[in-house]
Amino acid sequence: MLLYETLERQLKKEPNYVTDNGKLKKWVVINQAKNNDAELIGLLLNDTELKAKFFIDINGILVFNQNLFVQFLEQKNYLNDSYTQYINKVGLNIDGKYLKQRNEVALVWPFKDCVLEGGQSREEDKREEIFFNEILAQDEITQLLEPKVLTNAKRYTEKGEEQLDKFNRNEKGIITDNIILKGNNLLGLHSLKEEFAEQVKLIYIDPPYNTGNDSFQYNDSFNHSTWLTFIKNRLEIARTLLTNDGTIAISIDHNEIGYMISLLDEIFGRENKKNIITIKRSSVSGAKVINPGVVNVSEFLVLYSRTANLWKPNKVFRSKERDDRYNNFISNIEEDPSSWKYESVLDAFAKFKDIQKSKLKKELGADYDIELENFFIENKDRIIRFAGLDDKSISEGVKNVKYLSKDDDTKTYVFNRENHNDYYLYKGNAILFFKDRLIEVEGKWKFGEMISDIWNDVLPNDIHNEGGVTLRKGKKPEKLLNRLIDLCTNYGDIILDYHLGSGTTAAVAHKMNRQYIGLEQLNYGANDSVERLKNVINGDQSGISKQMNWQKGGEFVYLELKKHNQTFIEQIESAKDTKAVLKIWEEMKAKSFLNYNVDLQKQEQHIDEFKALTLAEQKQHLVELLDKNQLYVNLSSLNDKDFAFSAEEKKVTQDFYQLKK
Ligand SMILES: C[S@@+](CC[C@H](N)C(=O)[O-])C[C@H]1O[C@@H](n2cnc3c(N)ncnc32)[C@H](O)[C@@H]1O
């Protein structure tokens, strides 16, 4: 075999070096070689022939001959050159490496995603929060993504809080309880991956928008790439939870929508991009109108399917102002259509009220509008409008009848159609019925239309009151979730939100009789999703309750990922001074898992230098010492005596993962 054939065969063992149609990505390999990439060098060393060609032996140590290797690859004749750099260039790229090929994990503690401090009332009161961004490289990740031990499990019902005895399951063994899981969402998703693989019909997330005001701001130099890595890590695992006909819907604003779509295209495939919905999130008023230019009042809801051709959204309507063109009334609807007579709606209304048409408004006074509205609804079958028909959009048959009717004003013509509504034609016009434009909203018939990709009617005036909880800036309207859930799910389907915040998704899913799973890292105290769901169970009447005729009832299970090093991180975050930080360090030495390369003696020797650092630097340093693989307790440690798990923890964890005792 020629050397270049051996090389090509060996390099193709690494999937990242191969294009989708099986060609070697020479440009990527050259790039890796120039960076002395360990994976590439390892691959070359594994083949005797390549080892002999591209390495020099100096006193028993093999040195990679980078120049020779790159030159060899760059010689046009040696390797298939049919791919281009451009093929490889499509896709998101960080530091010269495609995001697709990067295997790091962005942990990110969500400190300023939303304004967290419960008591804050003014923006200026915001605390200078410390925020730890951490990206772990692939080789630093060992057990990070293993499922975790569960703790603090409770079942909430109308009767209150009780200990969780057992999860409910369906005939396929899938858990049918609603779940609220506290902990880092990446690790939470990995804990759900087996139990809920391909079970979730809709994933909705409202992640940090990377606006510069949220948590990713802490370190500006990698703000954008951290955000991308953070979103990517979670989307990849979330995708595996979706049913084949499932949907993922993501709220995002102008700051990152372009990148979000590129990322979704990479992970879900372009063919799965279904809608980009514009949401009106505020009005043109307040501080926004001080500066000249375009006032930003929109954000977006991006919808991707898991499998393009299996995606079957529902038909959803929205209410709107009555269309004044519906102003004709069929006086004798009981008779054959050929003999229908028409008059104006107002004439018919006047007759019905037995009041002269010109005196209607005066006599009915304040009741005029409501009485007329009721008349429209009660006569929805006989109120119509005449609409012109474009010859280009109708069949020959309809066209013939259209022209017959045009020259004959004595009767109404009917053109019957199989599997479609019949055409009624009068004087060359089609007759459209008011009833076909009505929808049932909150138990009442209203004038409506199918939803479009502009949702300017989902923001209520009193969003801050919804659910009885506050989440300044971050909270989504119940109506938005209601419409999305209507569009993408049916009764009993599972909905997942892994950026749960104040629990809007869960509250709406609960009122709509859908099963839900919510993940959230922070405990918002009185504004927590748990409090909101307790309100829902007890009959909360805010948000979409009236529309859904929500009474009360139902239940949910609360769980936490069992913390280990995460406990230290939380203590470090809230430490007020160096004394407190040093106390935590003492405890860390005894009880935490430190990174394998931390030399305790050296830390102690340099303790005075440590004390001289600013409080923020001290905190950052301590967090960096902790092994992130041990933030939460791995399932594999369930029988480890050192952790001294309670009987409850063991029982719930075993039951959730269906482990043999
Ligand atoms: C914009 S808020 C979501 C608000 C939510 N849609 C609502 O209506 O209340 C984003 C949420 O994601 C959470 N979050 C961010 N990063 C997280 C992580 N790594 N693990 C768990 N939750 C996280 C934040 O704590 C925050 O509550």
Instruction: List, for residues 147-177, the tens digit of each pLDDT value.
Output: 999 999 999 999 999 999 999 999 999 999 9
Q: Taking residues 245-254, what's their average pLDDT?
A: 96
Residue with CA nearest ligand 1 atom 7: 475
Structure tokens at 596: 């394998």
Say what the pLDDT of residue 114 is.
35
Instruction: Please state, for a pLDDT cut of 90, what percent of the chain lies above it.
Output: 57
Distance CA 265, CA 500 (A): 24
* Nearest alpha carbon to residue 509 among 550, 559, 470, 567: 550
8 lines ligand 1 (CB under 6 A): no
Say what the pLDDT of residue 82 is.
34
- What average pLDDT is seen over the chain? 87
Q: Is the pLDDT of residue 632 over 70?
A: yes
**Ligand 1 centroid – CA 521 distance (Å):** 7
**Ligand 1 centroid – CA 252 distance (Å):** 13
Distance CA 322, CA 140 (A): 62
Q: Is the pLDDT of residue 316 over 60?
A: yes
Say what the pLDDT of residue 75 is.
64
Say what the pLDDT of residue 1 is.
62
**Ligand 1 centroid – CA 219 distance (Å):** 19
470 lines ligand 1 (CB under 6 A): no
Q: Taking residues 273-284, what's their average pLDDT?
A: 95
Stronger pLDDT, 121 or 317, i.e. the higher one: 317
Among 44-58, 92-106, 376-390, 464-478, the range scoring the smallest mean pLDDT is: 92-106
Neighbouring-strand partners of residue 626: 594
Neighbouring-strand partners of residue 342: 330
566 lines ligand 1 (CB under 6 A): no
From the CA of 522, give the closest atom in ligand 1.
25
Say what the pLDDT of residue 109 is.
58
Q: Taking residues 238-252, what's their average pLDDT?
A: 98
- The secondary structure element, H or E, covering residue 154 is strand 150-157
pLDDT digits (tens, 9 = 90+) for 208-236: 887 766 655 444 444 677 788 889 999 99
**Ligand 1 centroid – CA 185 distance (Å):** 9
Q: Is the pLDDT of residue 279 over 90?
A: yes
Distance CA 350, CA 352 (A): 5
Structure tokens at 54: 């591209």
Say what the pLDDT of residue 83 is.
33
Q: What is the DSSP letter of 425?
A: E
**Ligand 1 centroid – CA 184 distance (Å):** 10
pLDDT digits (tens, 9 = 90+) for 535-593: 999 999 999 999 899 999 999 999 999 999 989 988 998 899 999 999 999 999 999 99
Say what the pLDDT of residue 524 is.
87
Say what the pLDDT of residue 517 is.
98
**Ligand 1 centroid – CA 654 distance (Å):** 28
Say what the pLDDT of residue 147 is.
96
**Ligand 1 centroid – CA 108 distance (Å):** 12
Structure tokens at 180: 């609220």
From the CA of 107, give the closest atom in ligand 1.
19
Task: Give me the torsion for CA of 134, 138, 142, 145, rounded to 10°.
Answer: 70
Distance CA 392, CA 630 (A): 68
Q: Taking residues 87-116, what's their average pLDDT?
A: 59
Distance CA 563, CA 583 (A): 19
Which residues have C-beta within 8 Å of that of residue 621, sequence separation ≥ 6?
Answer: 610, 613
Residue with CA nearest ligand 1 atom 15: 110
Say what the pLDDT of residue 419 is.
77
**Ligand 1 centroid – CA 179 distance (Å):** 16
Task: Give me the torsion for CA of 447, 452, 457, 463, rounded to 10°.
Answer: 130
504 lines ligand 1 (CB under 6 A): yes
Q: Is the pLDDT of residue 491 over 80?
A: yes
Q: Is the pLDDT of residue 249 over 70?
A: yes
Which residues have C-beta within 8 Å of that of residue 170, sequence separation ≥ 6?
Answer: 176
Q: Is the pLDDT of residue 31 over 90?
A: no
Say what the pLDDT of residue 96 is.
61
Q: Taking residues 503-523, what's their average pLDDT?
A: 96
Say what the pLDDT of residue 214 is.
61
User: Ligand 1: which of 521, 559, 569, 631 to mutate, judged by most atoms within 8 Å of the beta carbon?
Assistant: 521
**Ligand 1 centroid – CA 205 distance (Å):** 8
From the CA of 475, give the closest atom in ligand 1.
8
CA distances from 94 to 60, 100, 227 (A): 37, 10, 11
Q: 């048959």: which residue's tokens? A: 397
Q: Is the pLDDT of residue 464 over 90?
A: no
User: Ligand 1: which of 107, 113, 235 to mutate, judged by most atoms within 8 Å of the beta carbon?
Assistant: 113
Which residues have C-beta within 8 Å of that of residue 260, sequence separation ≥ 6?
Answer: 231, 250, 252, 302
543 lines ligand 1 (CB under 6 A): no
Structure tokens at 295: 């006032």
* Nearest alpha carbon to residue 182 among 497, 558, 524, 508: 558
User: Ligand 1: which of 233, 499, 520, 573 to mutate, judged by most atoms within 8 Å of the beta carbon?
Assistant: 499
522 lines ligand 1 (CB under 6 A): yes
Burial 641-653 (b: 16+ CB within 10 A, else e): eeeebeeebbbbb
pTM for this prediction: 0.75
Neighbouring C-beta atoms of residue 230, cutoff 10 Å: 24
Q: Taking residues 257-284, what's their average pLDDT?
A: 94
Among 98-112, 366-380, 544-558, the range scoring the smallest mean pLDDT is: 98-112
Say what the pLDDT of residue 306 is.
98
Identify residue 71 by its one-letter amino acid code.
Q
Residue with CA nearest ligand 1 atom 16: 110
Say what the pLDDT of residue 132 is.
62
476 lines ligand 1 (CB under 6 A): yes
Q: Taking residues 38-51, what's their average pLDDT?
A: 93
Say what the pLDDT of residue 454 is.
97
Stronger pLDDT, 192 or 216, i.e. the higher one: 192
pLDDT digits (tens, 9 = 90+) for 60-88: 889 998 888 887 776 644 444 333 333 33
**Ligand 1 centroid – CA 355 distance (Å):** 59
Q: Is the pLDDT of residue 355 over 80?
A: yes
Neighbouring-strand partners of residue 106: 135
Q: What is the DSSP letter of 234?
A: H
Highest-confidence segment of 240-244, 292-296, 370-374, 597-601? 240-244
Q: Taking residues 415-427, what's their average pLDDT?
A: 89
